[in-house]
Structure 1
Amino acid sequence: MADSASTDAAGSHEHGAGAHEDGAGRRDFLILAGGAFGAFAAGASAWPLLDSLNPARDTLAASTTEVDLSPIEEGQAITVKWRGSPVFIRRRTQKEIAEAKAVDPDDLPDPQTDEQRFGSGAREQWLVVVGVCTHLGCIPLGQKGTDNKGEYGGWFCPCHGSHYDISGRIRKGPAPRNLPVPPYAITAENKLIIGVEQPKGGHGGNAA
């Protein structure tokens, strides 16, 4: 009888141990499965987050301004808006280009050659600058034919008397720097895109 009781007790113990191991195994499986699902869910949620950090197409479009240059005649200037700021665009005459190139950059407060600012070839006829005085942010005069263009035939800031030449370079007055040249590209279709860099070997617009 004692042997039978011992045998039953041992069997019960083994059965209990087996059940305990089965339970532990199931718990381990559930933990591993839960961890794997959590990692998958985290990865799945991270993609929309990372993707949201990339600029949307409409955001990229809003950061550029496209202008058809074809209607602009030689000697004519227009003003467009880019990122909330005015941009002066002028189709310069050959005389204006020659005058801009003849200036010795060493004589300028903010030394730059005209070619450094606007390139050469067909591209050099197009002046493209942000129309905000680099002194205190006023809008210089010079876009209209009747405007005071200052002593150097470009732009004149009426706020504190800064004079810019036909290359947009500061020549006289308190402004410390030239009118900024924004990044821009000119396509083969004579479209100006402000806000993107001209690709190397890119088109410079039509001279005609």
Structure 2
Amino acid sequence: MSESTIETKCDCNRRDFLTTATIGLGAAGLAATAIPLVDSMNPAADTQAISTVEVDLSQIAVGQSVTVTWRGRPVFIRHRTPEEIAQAVKDDSVSLRDQQTDAVRVQRPDWLIVVGICTHLGCIPLGQKPGEPRGEFGGWFCPCHGSQYDTSGRARKGPAPSNLVVPPYAFVTDTQVKIG
């Protein structure tokens, strides 16, 4: 027999096995690379730990304000007096730059919780500590550019374009609030 007439037999089982094995190993290699990559996009444990903060409200007297840190930002918690609540409700009818009623901004009238960053340029307004200026409206005063906020955290005067931001929060108990 001449070489040209010799037929070569195809070992199809072997070829199918090699193709399947190559595809399988390729898929395993892709998964081994992709899983750590996708996992690296999840927030770190320390970031997740600061995503919420719980605050004991029983230690805050009426008329007192405290500052807590949530996600690296100051959050003002004010235990409002009856006078501050009455003034905030009365000011609902005033023409405001960022129109919001007091009832929309608080879950309970005696507790106001806002992010303590001025909405103009990101300064931290004064008014949390006794003796600090609170502006004409009894809330907070940003000395950098003169923005003033009322007792509901609404922008009332100065260049601030909007109200102080109300973070997501929920009352866990009567004396415990969870921010975030």
* Alignment TM-score, normalising by the size of structure 1: 0.75
Q: Is the 8 A contact 1:105 1:111 kept in 2?
A: no
Cα gap change, 1:136 to 1:42, in 2 (>3 Å) = closer
SS in 2 for 1:107: coil
Question: Which protein has the bigger strand share?
Answer: 2
Contact 2:79 2:112 in 1 (8 A): yes
Separation (CA, whole Å) in 2 of partners of 1:50 and 1:166: 45
1:204 corresponds in structure 2 to none
Q: Which has the higher contact order (CA 8 A, sep 6+)?
A: 2
Query: What number of residue pairs does the alignment pair up?
Result: 178
The answer to whether 1:64 aligns with 2:49 is no
Segments of 5+ residues of structure 1 without an aligned counterpart are: 1-8, 196-208
CA distance in structure 2 between the aligned counterparts of 1:45 and 1:189, rounded to whole angstroms: 49
Deviation for aligned residue 1:51: 3.7
User: Equivalent residue of 2:66, what SS?
Assistant: strand
- How many Å apart are 1:186 and its aligned residue? 1.9
Contact 2:137 2:149 in 1 (8 A): yes
Q: 1:182 and 2:170 equivalent?
A: no
- 2: CA distance, partners of 1:189 / 1:45: 49
Identify unmatched segments of 5+ residues in structure 2.
none
For 1:57 and 1:190, the matched residues in 2 are separated by 27
Matched residues, percent identical?
58
Question: How far does the alpha carbon of each residue in 1:129-161 deviate from its partner, in whole angstroms, 9 at most, with x for none?
Answer: 111222222222111221111111111121222
Three-state SS of the structure 2 residue aligned to 1:70 is helix
User: Is the deviation greater in 156-165 or in 101-110?
Assistant: 101-110
Among candidates 60, 64, 80, match of residue 76 of structure 1: 64
The structure number with the bigger radius of gyration is 1
Greater fraction of residues in helix: 1
Give a deviation string over 1:101-125, Cα, whole Å, max 9, x none: 1113451121110111113xxx221
